[in-house]
Homo-oligomer: A and B are copies of this chain.
């Protein structure tokens, strides 16, 4: 790779002018611009010295996907906080990487990241293990890791779901449908376990239906159940708000009212949840806060400040009482 000085000499155009082209200023003639761009390409010029000097710390954020309302909001929290501290960041989805764990590392190395924040709820991601063992500081969000080999930030999914079913119990509900999320997501497993544990302890009836954290994962199970069974329950606890939205449609289609006939409890407090009709009662998880704290942790790791001990940080969830749960006591 040639330096700017060498290129300047080669094509007889001043460094100042080349710099103006690189930085996209418009006080350069079209002809000169073309000549400079051609030369930059020819000499594989890539990194201006000025950029090198100013270069900020760079954090790569790894998410499973950007759809829905989970990882994108966590990512925003991360980026907000990193920006505040003068760090740069970018987001990469793992679904696109075809599980080529070595490639992820090589990509991050080649992009010269100073730290990585991985967001994942799946336990079977071997490449995550590899990242954790690599030379780059790592913080994990929303990840189950009992041995705490890495700084982790998340919510207590078990306690949150336990609080949810207890809330329904306290409103008099003794016969509850529980719509679970994806089976291979650890948070989904924990939420289901909490509900089952509560039902055993307090001797109430809980029926588990399979869902998938998507809108249709709420719609179809509820629709099918109500078509094939009597309405032998008083409340439905959905593992997330997306499924609650889908399930509410099934309930309306079959002529039931919310919360008069059927009470509804969601999980997440998505941005639309308060605009549903009626507004959804749900369990709020502090996604933005999770992102912010993840950013603070990675900054500590990168700068070498703060504790050397790996930490697992759990944030509180809370029930947002709106209008979908009826007190039937």
Residues of B within 8 A of A242 (CB): 272
Instruction: Give Cα A107 to B135, complex, Å.
Output: 23
Given contacts A66-B75, A130-B23, A245-B275, is CB(A107)–CB(B92) below 8 Å? Answer: no
Q: Among B96, B111, B252, which residue has its beta carbon within 8 angstroms of that of A111?
A: B111
The stretch of A48-56, A155-163, A310-318 in contact with B is A48-56
Given contacts A51-B106, A112-B46, is CB(A67)–CB(B73) below 8 Å? Answer: yes
Q: Among B46, B65, B271, which residue has its beta carbon within 8 angstroms of that of A109?
A: B46
Q: Among B33, B65, B106, B275, which residue has its beta carbon within 8 angstroms of that of A216?
A: B275
Residues of B within 8 A of A22 (CB): 105, 109, 134-135
Q: In the complex, which of the residues A90, A134, A275 has the most CB atoms of chain B within 10 Å of its own CB atom?
A: A275
Q: Would you call A320 an interface residue if the criterion is a C-beta within 8 Å of the partner chain's C-beta atoms?
A: no
Given contacts A51-B106, A135-B21, is CB(A215)–CB(B275) below 8 Å? Answer: yes
The stretch of A76-84, A139-147, A172-180, A226-234 in contact with B is A76-84
Q: Quick check: A24 and B105 within 8 Å, CB to CB?
A: yes
Q: Quick check: A109 and B47 within 8 Å, CB to CB?
A: yes
Query: Which residues 157-198 of A sit at the B interface, judged by CB distance below 8 A?
Result: none
**Residues of A within 8 A of B (CB-CB), count:** 79
Instruction: Give Cα A316 to B82, complex, Å.
Output: 39
Residues of B within 8 A of A88 (CB): 107
Residue of B nearest to A253 (CB): B277
A23 CB, min distance to chain B CBs, angstroms: 6
Q: Would you call A9 an interface residue if the criterion is a C-beta within 8 Å of the partner chain's C-beta atoms?
A: no
Residue of B nearest to A72 (CB): B66
Residues of B within 8 A of A272 (CB): 215, 242, 245-246, 272
Instruction: Give Cα A136 to B315, complex, Å.
Output: 42
Q: In the complex, which of the residues A41, A45, A76, A133 has the most CB atoms of chain B within 10 Å of its own CB atom?
A: A133
Q: Quick check: A109 and B276 within 8 Å, CB to CB?
A: no
Residue of B nearest to A102 (CB): B23
Q: Would you call A219 an interface residue if the criterion is a C-beta within 8 Å of the partner chain's C-beta atoms?
A: yes
Query: Which residues 209-256 of A sit at the B interface, judged by CB distance below 8 A?
Result: 214-216, 218-219, 242, 245-246, 248-249, 252-253
Residue of B nearest to A21 (CB): B135
Q: Would you call A262 an interface residue if the criterion is a C-beta within 8 Å of the partner chain's C-beta atoms?
A: no
Q: Would you call A40 an interface residue if the criterion is a C-beta within 8 Å of the partner chain's C-beta atoms?
A: yes
Q: Among B46, B72, B98, which residue has its beta carbon within 8 angstroms of that of A72?
A: B72
Q: Would you call A121 an interface residue if the criterion is a C-beta within 8 Å of the partner chain's C-beta atoms?
A: no
Supply 24 A–B pairs (Cβ within 8 Å), ascending by A: A21-B133, A22-B109, A22-B134, A23-B102, A23-B105, A24-B132, A46-B112, A50-B106, A51-B110, A55-B110, A56-B107, A66-B66, A66-B73, A67-B271, A76-B93, A83-B98, A88-B107, A89-B92, A91-B93, A111-B112, A214-B271, A245-B272, A249-B275, A249-B279
- Chain A positions within 8 Å of B, measured between CB atoms, are 21-26, 33, 36-37, 40-41, 45-48, 50-52, 54-56, 58, 60, 65-67, 72-73, 75-76, 79-80, 82-83, 88-93, 96-98, 101-103, 105-107, 109-112, 129-135, 214-216, 218-219, 242, 245-246, 248-249, 252-253, 271-272, 274-277, 279
